[in-house]
Every structure is written in structure tokens, then in C-alpha cells.
Amino acid sequence: EVQLVESGGGLVQPGGSLRLSCAASGFTFSSYWMSWVRQAPGKGLEWVANIKQDGSEKYYVDSVKGRFTISRDNAKNSLYLQMNSLRAEDTAVYYCAREDYWNYDYWGQGTLVTVSS
């Protein structure tokens, strides 16, 4: 059974940092692109970043470029999102999702990040 379990969310002050993790199991993690997708309270889905199977390609939404870094450790079946210089508008539930060709076929349960003083 495919499972994605996020962790690392919490309350952080504006300008602070947080590192999210996503533990994957039930599939060959190193064979898939992976993404982070976020959802602000009461809002829709926003793709944040994705990473190629071997980590050689990474892409970001404009609003997080230069502040967030996506990475992965295939030996640990884990996906990460390092978030620096956090802003109030980064407050959201962050989901990790597996990319299957052109869609997101499995999602984690999400981890809440709250940026507030």
C-alpha cells in the first residue's frame, strides 16, 4: 500500500525557517517525480515545487523561489522541503504528492504550517 506521511509542520514566526519531511512507503520511491502542494486555509490547491527521480531537476512556483528548497533522499525514501524567510502568506497545509506521469496519484495527509508572530 502506497503511503506518504508528512511531518515537520508547526508555528513559526515571520522570517523563520522550517523543514518539512515526507516519508514514503509501499512503492519504489526512486522511480517517481515528487511534489509539494499547499492549501491555505479555506483556499484552493497550489503547487509549490517538484523534483525529478534522481534530484537533478527541481522546479518551484515563483512565490517561493529563492526561499524554499526541495530535496530527496532515495536511500531513506524521503522527500523534504526546506522553507526559509517564511511569510504569513506561506501559512497552509502542505501535502506531498506522488506524480504519476501527468497527475498526482497519491497524497499524504498534510502537515500544517502557521506563520505568525
Partner 1 sequence: EIVLTQSPGTLSLSPGERATLSCRASQSVSSSYLAWYQQKPGQAPRLLIYGASSRATGIPDRFSGSGSGTDFTLTISRLEPEDFAVYYCQQYGSSPPFGQGTRLEIK
Q: Which of 31, 44, 54, 117 binds partner 1 (CB under 8 A)?
A: 44
> What minimum distance in Å lies between the beta carbon of 13 and partner 1?
26
How far apart are alpha carbons 75 and 67 in whole angstroms? 26
Residues 6+ apart with CB under 8 A from 29: 72, 74, 77, 78
Q: Which of 11, 40, 45, 88 binds partner 1 (CB under 8 A)?
A: 45
How many other β-carbons are positioned within 10 Å of the β-carbon of residue 117? Answer: 9
Q: Which of 31, 66, 75, 102 binds partner 1 (CB under 8 A)?
A: 102
**Contact positions vs partner 1 (CB under 8 A):** 44-47, 61-62, 95, 100-110
